[in-house]
Structure 1
């Protein structure tokens, strides 16, 4: 009995396989028209694929858009980082360019002062509370700096050394309000006019050249330089240009307002001038 059922099952299986192969062959052959059952099955399968495909495609598109946004955010972050680095490099390049130009100008100024002994220094400190008064430089006693030496930039005269330490020195600027901060100066012209730089107008940012004879004509744009009469500073160091001249209250003298040649607010590299070396050079005729 079991053997009969086993053979029966085998026969049914073989018949099913034959029918399946026949149906496949029938469906694969070229025909102008397909049967209604086949059309029904195809319609059902197509509808099911359409229902499943649309949400699936939409979901896939959503994930693709999310990935695109993520990639865009990452790229923008990298670009922003590169832009920040570029800005930093541009600022650094500008700073180096300015420093290079200042050093070139300082070297040029030093060459023009061959007859005087000069010491190159850099400003290392500036107190905000005394911004108009003084700066600290990185040269001191061991470098040959001494009190009352003239200090200039590539643009012009800025002040004098007032305090000397072993390795550092303090420079008092011409813009200092100290009443004892005076410099013997002259207005260059057909005939030099002598006076004293004493005082600074913070509002107009102009130096005051006082004690000028009232009957002497001084024009705007004339150069003002150190006179050398005080015996402290070399003569001919450029201080600035005359902007205007006003009579004093007593009517016996006049005051010239002088625009500084150097920028007191932006001092980085300076030269310290040794007047003693200049005197020695003039006595020996430049021979050592």
Structure 2
């Protein structure tokens, strides 16, 4: 009896192997048609996908639309709040302009140290040997350019017109080491502190703001602007921000190192500014002789 069951199991195993091999061979055979069970399964699955796919897409699209609508609402609220602040700021600026105009009318004052007319220009040349000294522009006297006009970019002051010919001009950069290259500046603080930009520290990559009173309380990251008192530059042109402060060599005044706001290495399009209030050149010459 045990021998019979053993032979029976062996026969079943052999038959199973034969069937399995036959099925494998049948599946590997390059058939051009499929059996009806396979067709039934494929058709059933395809129908199910068709039936459930479209509603699923609608549901997913609905939730996506709700999410987009919520995000749009939030962005709209943010833009409305910014617009409200902008309108408030615009109203304040308009009020200040009106107030300033009234005060100027009362005083009979027509000009201002901060007023200027811009002349658009493009940098056409830069000498590698004098990289920190000068650049050349495509605007000259026929375009209204004159010597000593300030030159700026959108970021801040970069220099002044050193020479002007009929169709081109040369700009002396604020980083020029020329001892006559000076800018009357003011440190923006609760109490304005005045000084003179004299010189450029190449190691620090910063302008040197000198003649600052020893008792003046100044610190890093304070903004430095043109004061308009030097007779060349209009007032309130951004020069840069303070990165370091130290006493001068005699300990009588302070020196502030100012990182220029404008990128002096990457200059392409600039503006030449024509100051509305013209300085007394005789006064400037007398001051230069005294110094």
Task: Give your verdict on TM over 0.5.
Answer: yes
**Does 2:240 match 1:240?**
yes
Shift of 1:215: 1.1
Distance change (3 Å), C-alpha of 1:115 and 1:230: closer
CA shift for structure 1 position 278 = 4.9
CA offset at residue 170 of structure 1?
0.1
Superposed CA RMSD in Å reads 1.7
Alignment-derived partner of residue 152 in structure 1: 152
Deviation at 1:116, TM superposition (A): 1.8
Secondary structure of 2:262's match?
Answer: coil
Q: Find out whether 1:174 has 2:181 as its counterpart.
A: no
Q: What residue number does 1:141 align with?
A: 141
Instruction: Provide the residue aligned with 2:132 in structure 1.
Output: 132
Once the two structures are superposed, what CA deviation does each residue of 1:54-77 show, in whole Å capped at 9, x if it has no partner?
Answer: xxxxxxxxxxxxxxxxxxxxxxxx
CA deviations on 1:209-266 (whole Å, 9 max, x unpaired) are 0010011110111100000111211000000000110001211101000010001111
- For residue 17 of structure 1, what is the aligned residue in structure 2? none
Structure-2 separation of matches of 1:250 and 1:189? 25
Following the alignment from structure 1 to structure 2, what is the Cα–Cα distance between the partners of residues 159 and 268? 14
Spell out the pairing of 1:1-150 with structure 2 (5 A cutoff): 115-150=115-150
Q: Report how far residue 156 of structure 1 moved.
A: 0.2
Are the aligned partners of 1:121 and 1:270 in contact in 2 as well (CA < 8 Å)?
yes
> Which runs of 5 or more residues in structure 2 are unaligned?
1-112, 280-291
With the length of structure 2 as denominator, give the TM-score of the two structures: 0.56
**Structure 1 residue aligned with 2:220:** 220
Structure 1: give runs of 5+ residues left out of the alignment: 1-112, 281-288
Q: Is the 8 A contact 1:189 1:222 kept in 2?
A: yes
Distance in 2 between the 1:213 and 1:116 partners? 30
Name segments (4+ residues, structure 1) moved above 3 Å.
none
**What is the rounded CA distance, in whole Å, between the counterparts of 1:182 and 1:115 in structure 2?**
21
Match of 2:240, SS? strand
In the alignment, the residues of structure 1 paired with residue 224 and residue 133 of structure 2 have an alpha-carbon distance, to the nearest angstrom, of 21
Which of the pair has more CA radius of gyration? 1
